[in-house]
Structure 1
Amino acid sequence: LETKKRLLKLFPNAKLGETYGMTESAATITTLDPDQVLRKMASVGKAFVTTQVRLVDDEDRDIPPGRVGEVISRGPNVMVGYYKDPEATAETLRGGWLHTGDLGRVDEEGFLYIVDRKKDMIITGGENIFPREIEEVLYAHPKILEAAVIGLPDPQWGERVHAVVVLKEGQQMTEEEVIDYCKANLASFKKPKSVEFVDLLPRSAAGKVLKRVLRDERT
């Protein structure tokens, strides 16, 4: 969301669209038309013309608009399967639908919003917390360059929210300042319980933050 805002500010005369997908769907599941970007800034659009999209619960039952569920898709763009991995294929293509592992919600107009990765969701004290929401708040802080939010084991709450933060060059912040900033911009139970400052976040060859590595290094 912050990236979209920066791009539109840098290139005010440009038209900005967005496509959501993954390798297993030939990188195309939904598309957001440039004419809708300003009105639906946080959305990834509607299903591509040849694609069907549903949001389902853990039992693959459809859920109503406004609720969060897993994004599943089918269409001619979806893969046949993983090479020599029938078990992973069966798990991902259950019932003929590609299970993306992404959590999302659909508004009343049918626009899809990606909430987070299903495996990254934090459950603390019985509450579901989506790290992406906290990360977007952190990225909006003028002193913060990058941030990743993960769940770490907690004997009382099951998991606790932990923020790993990279500051911009020459900037300084304390753990308390980051937590107070989050508390002012989020529901109190979503604020990080702890904050760690690092120089770099681990990334894959594709540039994605490796949250599994962050979790493994801290547990």
Structure 2
Amino acid sequence: MSETTAGVTRNPIIGQRKVGSTGFPMPNIDVKIVDIATGTIEMPIGESGEIIVKGVTVMKGYWKEPEETENAIRDGWLHTGDIGKMDRDGYFYIVGRKKELIITGGFNVYPAEVEEVIYQHPAVLEVGVYGVPDTYRGEAVKAAIVIKKGATSSAEEIQNWCRERLTRYKVPRIIDFRDSLPKTAVGKILRRQLKDEDEDEM
């Protein structure tokens, strides 16, 4: 993050490297996982929450933006907007972005977790998961999917695949098959754009 001016965590040069982990905090950097709702309660080991950072590399604030600074830095801790967790060995993992979190029926759903399961389906080439308004649940989980050339699938098949591998509330209620998905220049799928396109169609 530019707000930290340098790296925050890294994997050890000598020692165990865990797949998917960003490693340990660097020297003179403190990292915690706190609850998403208030940002004040430290989460238990293995539980997901917002990653906050404190240390010598953290910025003093945004230039001429006191309100933004106050929102981002509280009691010396930078609230990153990233959602992550820490394991029992002190390794950190990023699981998503706070802005992309889906809250459905009071439950938190991280798009990356659902996408990981859908990508395991043999017919799926690309997938983007995001939340859409739902009058009963607040938000519903939606998946935009591109099928591999020559393959076939259906919404019911994808949902059944997810039901076998995910908690019920994480299963996408809406499946949208597309020819392509919006991406950044480096190929990252733009969930925000998918969400915006849905809102424009409403």
SS at match of 1:88: helix
Between 118-127 and 202-211, report the one with greater CA deviation. Answer: 202-211
What percent of counterpart residues are identical? 44
Asked if the contact 2:118–2:124 (Cα under 8 Å) also holds between the matched residues in 1, the reply is yes
**Change beyond 3 A, Cα 1:202–1:79:** farther
Partner of residue 121, structure 2: 141
Superposition map of 1:190-201 within 5 A? 190-201=170-181
2:16 is equivalent to residue 36 of structure 1: yes
Partner of residue 29, structure 2: 51
SS at match of 2:183: coil
Aligned-residue offset at 1:27: 5.2
**Change beyond 3 A, Cα 1:33–1:147:** farther
- How many residue pairs align between the two structures? 196
SS at match of 2:189: coil
2:153 is equivalent to residue 150 of structure 1: no
Give me the whole-angstrom Cα distance separating, in 1, the residues matched to 2:59 and 2:162: 40
Between 131-140 and 87-96, report the one with greater CA deviation. Answer: 87-96
Question: Which of the residues 89, 95, 107 maps onto 2:87?
Answer: 107
Give me the whole-angstrom Cα distance separating, in 2, the residues matched to 1:89 and 1:139: 38
Between 146-155 and 43-52, report the one with greater CA deviation. Answer: 43-52
Gaps of 5+ in 1: 1-21
Aligned-residue offset at 1:218: 1.0
Between 201-210 and 157-166, report the one with greater CA deviation. Answer: 201-210
1:112 is aligned with what amino acid? F
Superposition map of 1:54-93 within 5 A? 54-57=32-35, 58-93=38-73
Partner of residue 16, structure 1: none
TM-score of the superposed pair, with normalisation by structure 1: 0.80
2:127 is aligned with what amino acid? A
Superposition map of 1:10-25 within 5 A? 22-25=1-4
Asked if the contact 2:111–2:130 (Cα under 8 Å) also holds between the matched residues in 1, the reply is yes
2:12 is equivalent to residue 26 of structure 1: no
Aligned-residue offset at 1:141: 2.3
Between 23-32 and 190-199, report the one with greater CA deviation. Answer: 23-32
Partner of residue 167, structure 2: 187
Give me the whole-angstrom Cα distance separating, in 1, the residues matched to 2:187 and 2:8: 21
Gaps of 5+ in 2: none
Partner of residue 164, structure 1: 144
Aligned-residue offset at 1:208: 3.7
Partner of residue 9, structure 1: none
Give me the whole-angstrom Cα distance separating, in 1, the residues matched to 2:167 and 2:41: 29
Aligned-residue offset at 1:62: 2.1
**Change beyond 3 A, Cα 1:152–1:200:** same
Cα root mean square deviation, aligned: 2.0
Q: Deviations over 1:85-134 (max 9, x none)?
A: 33222211222222111111111111112222112111112222111110
Aligned-residue offset at 1:195: 0.6
**Change beyond 3 A, Cα 1:75–1:180:** same
Give me the whole-angstrom Cα distance separating, in 2, the residues matched to 1:142 and 1:33: 35
2:104 is equivalent to residue 124 of structure 1: yes
SS at match of 1:67: coil
Between 53-62 and 96-105, report the one with greater CA deviation. Answer: 53-62
Kindly indicate which of the two structures has a greater share of residues assigned to helix.
1
